[in-house]
Structure 1
Amino acid sequence: MNREPVTVMPIARRIAHVDDPALIKDSSQHIARAMIPAGDWARHDPFLLMMEDDFGIGAFGMHPHRGIETITYVIEGSLTHTDNRGNSGVLGPGDVQFMTAGSGVIHLEEPPAGERVHLLQLWLNLPAAQKMTTPRYQDLHAAAMPRHSAEGVEVTVYSGTSNGVTSPTLNHVPVTVVEMRLTAGAAFTQDLPGSYNGFVHILGGYGEFGATHTAGRAGQTLWLDRPTSGDDTELSVTAVTDLRVLLGAGEPLHEPVVAGGPFVMNTEAQIRQAFLDYRAGRFDPH
């Protein structure tokens, strides 16, 4: 007996909650807000925090990291970066950098003199087995990234896959990072593995998201629900006005998280060792 193949439809993701934090004015040189606050590790896994920063030169000095990746998305302005390993570069609007701190990096991020930069920086946890991996940089310039385009829709794929378009970005943690730009009235559906935890941050405009058409506006971060099965899922996005959003979603690690300043490891002993190594100059590759 011939049987027709069974088509399994993706599960439509809903929006579980909407975060709308207040701005924090650190100084005239630095305005920030915590779009993903640190500490609620299980809720945000594999993400650790996300800051929206607007700053000028001198807001940050040279500083270290270990045990994480930083994903930096430039909204406006230019960002220069240098580190103690001889790496350097410049990112412009729409560019993204994946910086794998791994075993240890000391770096500086700032705009050119006399200018300001507006950006998002997302901290992505590294698996225990990769906490001490060799540091690396991936500067992802928007113009060179793969895209999916349709009427009223342009999607830039910085990591992972969107509608069959796959980025060549290397990942220690399976993670999808895409920017969506939609004109008013346009709609788009993003495919995601059911196991991924994720969010949408609205960079500009107003739209409706997910199966229940949850409203969201510029400056808000909308978290997706977490299905009980690992089946394929999808997130619908509809632009009420012209809309620009950044989606981040990744495979949770389900590992212990211990944070100490710029270091994120799995145990208190590893945090103490990170500070000892930094103070002893062991973050220097030479």
Structure 2
Amino acid sequence: MNAVSNTGTSAVAGTALPERPIARKTRAGAPAPGFAGPGHTAMEVVRPDALARTDPFVLLMDDTLDFAPGQPVGEAHPHAGLETVTLVLEGSLDDADEGLLQTGDLAWMTAGRGLVHNEHVKATGHARILQLWVALPRSKRDGDPDLQVVPLETLPLRSEPGVQARLYSGSTGTLTSPTRNRVPMTIVDFLLAPGASTTQALPGAYTGFLYVIDGSLRAGHETLSSGDIGWLERVPHDATRLGLEAGSSGARVVLYAGRPLDEPIMQHGPFVAGSREELAAYYRAYSAGTFRRISELGRDGSRETYASPYSARR
């Protein structure tokens, strides 16, 4: 793939990249009571019912918490065969293992062969979070668990007139994220002023989606508004350009795009695997007590909190 400039054109050839279309549009589900009890509202953005089409993404939940400060959020539970990517949109969560996650912070947990998660999480009041599940490829599912914590102030920040792009993974413009990916992936949180526009370069082989948090915008010749999901499918080009233009009230939209695994994927409860036999093995291992606990990761160096030469204002 050619190097891509900040304007979404090929820096090598000097020609414009093909424009990436939105292949289809869906809507986030209606708010419903969440697993953590009264005060937890959950919206299902990506459902795990068409994994061959959403590969490598398994699900995305949009959760709102209105709890008393100090109230526990859920309880310990296992994961295996996947990664969870948690982005705090509003408020904060106090996690004894991941630290205090504030607005704009992200926690990237790799479950690998098995990890017990969410052991010591407490509310600080109101919070809204996005949690993405990403399927691990067969070659990575038996790997060691780890945790990457990405504070907002460490993010590569792309600023243009009326546009701020917070880079959590992959690249945008001339910037590259330091996060380590088992699955090649781009995650960018775009904040656009009314009428502002920008472009994002993406490999043609990437699938993924845009999730509109607020406002409205034009993307890939499709109009999207708050709660809409605009889906990207593979196209026969090495590199493409996704154009974004905010509507009259501005927009906030999160881009999740990644390279498909192109191998069998199935999900059952907190586990993702390639076969029923593999799922059954995860359940046996968890019952046998062989899963690691997330509280152990900081003690053995399997946790990383990023610091970078970039800075952003909270």
Q: TM-score, normalised by structure 2?
A: 0.83
- In structure 2, list runs of 5 or more residues that go unmatched: 1-11, 297-314
Q: In the TM superposition, what is the alpha-carbon distance from 1:132 to its structure 2 partner? A: 1.4
Q: In the TM superposition, what is the alpha-carbon distance from 1:270 to its structure 2 partner? A: 1.1
Distance 2:87 2:120 in 1: 13
1:62 match = 76
Give % identity: 36
Worse-matched range after superposition: 48-57 or 149-158: 48-57
Match of 2:169 among 133, 156, 159: 159
Q: TM-score, normalised by structure 1?
A: 0.90
Q: In the TM superposition, what is the alpha-carbon distance from 1:112 to its structure 2 partner? A: 3.6
Determine if the alignment matches structure 1 residue 237 to structure 2 residue 244: yes
Structure 1 ranges of 4+ moved more than 6 A: none
1:19 match = 26
3-state SS in 2 of match to 1:70:
strand
- In structure 1, list runs of 5 or more residues that go unmatched: none
Determine if the alignment matches structure 1 residue 260 to structure 2 residue 274: no
Change (3 A) 1:6 1:112: closer
1:32 match = 42
1:73 match = 87
For 2:21, the aligned partner's letter is R
Change (3 A) 1:35 1:224: same
Alignment length (residue pairs): 275
Mapping of 1:112-131 within 5 angstroms? 112-113=122-123, 115-131=125-141
1:42 match = 52
1:100 match = 110
Change (3 A) 1:284 1:155: closer
1:185 match = 195
3-state SS in 1 of match to 2:292:
coil
Match of 1:279 among 287, 300, 311: 287
What RMSD in Å do the two structures reach over aligned CA positions?
1.9
For 2:256, the aligned partner's letter is G
Q: Is the 8 A contact 1:19 1:222 kept in 2?
A: yes
Deviations 1:49-75 (A, max 9, x none): 001111244452110100100011111
Distance 1:88 1:182 in 2: 30
Q: Is the 8 A contact 1:13 1:225 kept in 2?
A: no
Determine if the alignment matches structure 1 residue 199 to structure 2 residue 239: no
Deviations 1:62-117 (A, max 9, x none): 101001000111111112335xxxx4312111111111011111111776446232
3-state SS in 1 of match to 2:23:
strand
Q: In the TM superposition, what is the alpha-carbon distance from 1:248 to its structure 2 partner? A: 0.6
Distance 1:70 1:98 in 2: 6
Q: Is the 8 A contact 1:79 1:109 kept in 2?
A: no
Q: Is the 8 A contact 1:95 1:142 kept in 2?
A: yes
Distance 2:292 2:23 in 1: 43
Q: Is the 8 A contact 1:192 1:232 kept in 2?
A: yes
For 2:149, the aligned partner's letter is D
For 2:24, the aligned partner's letter is H
Distance 2:13 2:180 in 1: 34
Q: Is the 8 A contact 2:93 2:123 kept in 1?
A: no
Deviations 1:136-181 (A, max 9, x none): 1111111111111111111111100101110011000000001111
